[in-house]
Amino acid sequence: MKKYEKMLIAFNDKGLNCYARQGDWLYIATKNDTKKGLFRLANYLHYFVSLNSERIPSEFGVVKKIEGYITAEDLAKLDYVSRKQDVSLITDEVLIDYEKFLQKINAQPEHTPMAVTWLEKRFPKNTKELRVHKKFFSGMSKAEKKSIFEFTIRAES
Cβ-proximal residues to 70 (8 Å cutoff; 6+ apart), any chain: 3, 4, 7, 102
pLDDT in tens, the chain (157 residues): 899 999 999 999 999 999 999 999 999 999 999 999 999 999 999 999 999 999 999 999 999 999 999 999 999 999 999 999 999 999 999 999 999 999 999 999 999 999 999 999 888 889 989 999 999 998 899 999 888 998 887 654 4
Q: Which of 29, 28, 25, 20 is nearest to 4 (CA)?
A: 25
Q: Report in angstroms the alpha-carbon separations of 150 from 29, 110, 122.
A: 24, 9, 38
Element at 4 (helix H, strand E): strand 4-9
Q: Do residues 16 and 45 make contact, with C-beta atoms less than 8 angstroms apart?
A: no
Cis ω on the peptide bond leading into residue 124 (within 30° of 0)?
yes
